[in-house]
Amino acid sequence: MIYRETGQFKTSYAEDSQIFPIAQDRYVFWALMGFAFLVVPLVIDDYWEKSILLPFLVYSLAAIGLNILTGYCGQLSLGTGGFMAVGAYAAYKLMTGFPGLDMVIVVLASGVITAAVGMVFGLPSLRIKGFYLAVATLAAQFFLIWLFNKVPWFYNNSATGQISAPERTAFGVQVTGAAASSSASYLFCLIFVVLMGFAAKNLLRGRIGRSWMAIRDMDIAAEIIGVDPLRAKLSAFGVSSFYIGVAGALYFAVWFGGAEPTEAFGINVSFNVLFMIIIGGLGSMLGSFLGAAFIVLLPILLKTALVDWFSLGTAMAKHIEITTLGALIILFLILEPHGLARLWAVAKEKLRLWPFPH
Amino acid sequence: MTALSRLRSPEGIGLTLLALFLAQGLWWLATTDTGTRLFFYEVTLSGLLAGVMYSLVALGFVLIYKSSGIFNFAQGVMALFAGLFLTGFMNDFGAPVWLAIPMTLAVMVATAFAIEHLVLRHLVNQEPIILFMATIGLAYVLEGIGDIVWGSDVKALDVGLPNGASDFFLDGFDIYVEKLEIAAAVVAGVLVIALSLFSQYTRIGRALRAVADDHQAALSVGISLRMIWVIVWSIAGGVALVAGMMWGAKSGVQFSLALIALKALPVLILGGFTSIPGAIVGGLIIGVGEKWAEIYLGPTLNGLFGWNANWFTAIENWFAYVLALGFLLIRPQGLFGEKIIERV
């Protein structure tokens, strides 16, 4: 009744090709943006920042990155954790090497460095594909973590082998370190997520995105109709790694404030991000956000439910969480292989016909 | 001319490099002193035996991949799962070994049934990548259930396998070899022979090979695919039990057992996804390669970089993957795999 595009006429090409063609979608989007930028910073506290909002924002970026590579370009990657580590260590080296550098530049430069590393590890994708490529990305994962563990230059010879973020500012506002306010850190991440989300959406709608999808759907056919696999695959690895690198930099510098490579960027992180895009929806921007929200919230909800209500031990709650997560993955793959994003699309379709479905 | 062009193909270059490497190695071996030589044999042998362990996990992968085209990521967790149940039956229930092993086997068969009924049945005709991701989910479920039932702390497993150094090798050749690893090698050998006899001479074995050859043709002569899948997953469960037992006896039943699954991936790439001998040979190559890399390549690389010479330790963590990656670039189908043909 409310959600209907009847009477919304498009009179220009710009209107026709906008991201949200239905006016109601735009209202909801701008309302969400207004809420996220104006209301949330006023009410945010430390718990919401550190356990829900920053994880959601950082993982959204990582999920967008992996979705570009796996969902849109069809190249399965299990090296997300390793690439996030590249972003984090690049940010660390830049922050400590150039103390005056603005955080915005640090984060973007970390993304660029990760993109370069990602493209190097993407080179095998030109010759191998599928599971074989997954093994190649595993090589990246283990090699990078080993590198950050072993080579003292990366962690500035600190005795513990850990890295911790010094206090740095973005446009004069402190965003990293203990003294950074919750709202500043949150807004800093939010701006990155919104701008890079838009950039990704537009990349995906354009020529490059279409060449990625052609490669995903059938690489040989794509090559025959004139898509250069070298350019398509390497650009997918580059762009994807850029997003993952920025996510890694924010993960380390703003969210955690410190990191130890084996724990923070292990293979589990790779799987978590992969789960996000499976549950959210492979090849869907909205899916990246929904999946990130789901995977961030599920453990918190389960933990609250199991530990606080049923008073189980934390270890048991952890085991049940793992089982639930696995079962959900299987359930989603069986019932809705296109993930939460498809469920949302179906719901919208229903809503358009409501209350007269025939 | 043809000989030259064959030499310049990726495989030719690979073989040439390999031959050079082996010749150089043999030369080094022939000219070095006895102590170093004995140490080399010891390293190689322990690498081979560690490789047998990898082969055990890879074997389960190959069985399932051949018969259903599913890349079973959960194979390593299945080993952990079996190990957990075995130790559980033995330590918590006090069952003797001869009873605990069949009991665990029954659990693995029940698991195979459950997997077929709850997961595989609903994912028929999905893309391989979807099935692969489903087995990642399966890995989490199995790990979670194993932990819920038996807890997640490290458990010692004693199934009466021999321990300590083998006197035969120690006295006769002056080489230190674990008895347990020899036992593992023997068990793996028996397992492979049993499996090949089973698939060669029994009715079910023939059906398995038929399904591996061509699903549709197998269906058309009246072979039940679902039954075959249950059987294959049960066999893979049995192989996982053996692997879990060996690894468990070696280093205790713990989560790191599941991570061998990841080590089995390079093994598969080397050996080919569809070849049982490939899984064995691949495992041996990876096992030896890792040990050689750790002992010989690491210090060499450290020397190469000169300053600050302890970077290249624990390169075992990633060497197998890099080895597999290099191999992939030369021969994408693996040593014994079927040639990959792509059509539009």
Q: Is B125 helix (H, G, I), strand (E, B) or coil?
A: coil
pLDDT mean over A54-80: 92
Cα(B274)–Cα(B66) distance, rounded to whole angstroms? 5
Question: Which strand (E) or helix (H) includes residue B325?
Answer: helix B316-330
- Is residue A285 within 8 Å of A64, Cβ to Cβ? yes
Percent of chain A with pLDDT over 90: 34
Asked if B321 and A143 come within 8 Å (Cβ–Cβ), the reply is yes
What are residue A169's phi and psi, to 5 degrees? Answer: -120, 155
Instruction: List CB contacts (< 8 A) between A134 and chain B.
Output: 265
Question: What is residue A298's predicted lDDT score, i.e. its pLDDT?
Answer: 87
Q: How far is B270 from chain A (nearest CA, A)?
A: 11
Please check whether residue B336 is in contact with residue B278, taking contact to mean a CB–CB distance below 8 angstroms.
yes
The verdict on residue A339 lying in a domain is no
Domain count, chain A: 1
How far A306 CA lies from chain B's nearest CA (Å)? 13
Shortest Cα distance, chain B CAs vs residue A334, angstroms:
6
**CA separation for the pair B55, A226 (Å, rounded):** 43
pLDDT of B237 above 80: yes
Has residue A341 been placed in a domain? no
Instruction: Report residue B234: phi and psi, to 5°.
Output: -65, -45
C-beta separation of A115 from A238 below 8 A: yes
The answer to whether residue B333 is domain-embedded is no
- C-beta of residue A295 within 8 angstroms of C-beta of residue A56: no
Q: Is the pLDDT of residue B281 over 70?
A: yes
Question: Is the Cα torsion angle A229, A233, A238, A243 positive or negative in sign?
Answer: positive
Q: What is the pLDDT of residues B215-235, one digit of tens each?
A: 788 888 888 888 888 998 999
| Chain-chain contact of B344 with A220 (C-beta, under 8 angstroms) | yes
The pLDDT of B263-290, averaged and rounded, is 83
In-domain check, residue B23? no
pLDDT given for residue A33 in this prediction = 92
pTM: 0.86
Residue B274, pLDDT above cutoff 50 = yes
Specify which residues A258 forms β-bridges with.
A164
pLDDT at A42 over 70: yes
Query: Shortest CA distance to B289 belongs to which of B250, B322, B330?
Result: B322
Residue A149 pLDDT = 85
Highest averaged pLDDT of the listed ranges B17-31, B131-145, B295-309: B131-145
Neighbours of B241 (CB within 10 A): 24
Contacting residues of B for A220, CB less than 8 Å apart: 342-344
Radius of gyration of chain B from Cα atoms? 22
Tokens 């994912």 belong to B123
Whether residue B5 has pLDDT greater than 80:
no
Size of chain B in residues: 344
Chain B residues in contact with A315 (beta carbon < 8 A) = 151-152
In a domain, A196, yes or no: yes
Residue B154, C-beta contacts closer than 8 angstroms, at least 6 positions apart: B252, B253, B254
> Stretch A144-158: mean pLDDT, rounded?
84
Checking B124-130 for CB contacts under 8 A at 24+ apart, the result is B126/A333, B126/A337, B128/A130, B128/A131, B128/B69, B128/B70, B128/B71, B129/A76, B129/A130, B130/A333, B130/A337
Residue B146, domain member (yes or no): yes
Whether B246 is in a domain gets the answer yes
Give chain A's contact residues with B (Cβ, < 8 Å).
76, 124, 127-128, 130-132, 134-136, 138-139, 142-143, 145-146, 150-152, 218, 220-221, 224, 267, 271, 274, 278, 315-316, 319-330, 333-334, 337
Two structure tokens written together for A353? 């016909």
Q: Testing the interface with A: which of B321, B323, B343 to mutate, by most A Cβ within 10 A?
A: B321
Handedness of CA B134, B137, B141, B146 (dihedral sign): positive
Position A59 in a domain: yes
Q: How many helices (H) and strands (E) does chain B have?
A: 15, 0
Alpha carbon distances (Å) from B227 to A61, A298, B115, B207: 44, 36, 12, 10
pLDDT tens for B36-78 read 777 888 888 888 888 888 888 888 888 888 777 788 888 888 9
Taking CB atoms and an 8 Å limit, are A333 and B130 in contact across chains?
yes
Taking Cα atoms as reference points, which of A25, A22, A56, A42 lies closest to residue A254?
A56
Across the interface, do B152 and A319 touch by the CB < 8 Å criterion? yes
Interface test with B, best of A329, A336, A342 (most B CBs within 10 A): A329
What pLDDT score does B1 carry? Answer: 47
Number of residues in chain A: 358
Instruction: State the average pLDDT over residues A47-69.
Output: 91
Q: Distance (Å, rounded) from C-alpha A24 to C-alpha A4?
A: 8
| Residue pairs between chains A and B whose CB atoms are closer than 8 Å | 130
**Mean pLDDT of the residues in chain A:** 87
**Structure token pair of residue B251:** 């280093």
Report whether A273 contacts A66 (CB < 8 A): yes
User: For the segment B177-224, what is each residue's pLDDT rounded down to a tens digit?
Assistant: 777 778 888 888 888 888 888 878 888 888 888 887 777 888 888 888
SS (H, E, C) chain A: CCCCCCCCCCCCHHHHCCCCCCHHHHHHHHHHHHHHHHHHHHHCCHHHHHHHHHHHHHHHHHHHHHHHHHHHCCCCCCCHHHHHHHHHHHHHHHHHHCCCCCHHHHHHHHHHHHHHHHHHHHHHHHCCCCHHHHHHHHHHHHHHHHHHHHCCCCCCCCCCCCEECCCCEECCEECCCCCCCHHHHHHHHHHHHHHHHHHHHHHHHCHHHHHHHHHHHCHHHHHHCCCCHHHHHHHHHHHHHHHHHHHHHHHHHHHHCEECHHHHCCHHHHHHHHHHHHHHCCCCHHHHHHHHHHHHHHHHHHHHHHHHHCCCCHHHHHHHHHHHHHHHHHHHHHHCCCHHHHHHHHHHHHHHHCCCCC
CB atoms within 10 A of CB B344: 9
Query: Which residues fall within 8 angstroms of residue A173, CB to CB, at 6 or more apart?
Result: A184, A188
What is the DSSP code (8-state) at residue B178? B
Contact at CB, B324 and A334, closer than 8 angstroms: no
CB contacts of B145 in chain A (<8 Å) are 323
pLDDT for A330 beyond 60? yes
Domain range for B112 is: 34-258
pLDDT band at B174 (very low <50, low <70, confident <90, very high): low
Tell me the residue range of the domain where A160 lies: 23-262
Within 8 A of A267 by CB-CB distance, chain B residues are 262
Closest Cα in chain B to A338: B130
Q: How far, in Å, CA of B283 to CA of B324, rounded?
A: 11
Q: How many domains does chain B have?
A: 1
Helix (H) or strand (E) holding B308: none
What distance in Å separates residue A39's CA from the closest CA in chain B?
Answer: 38
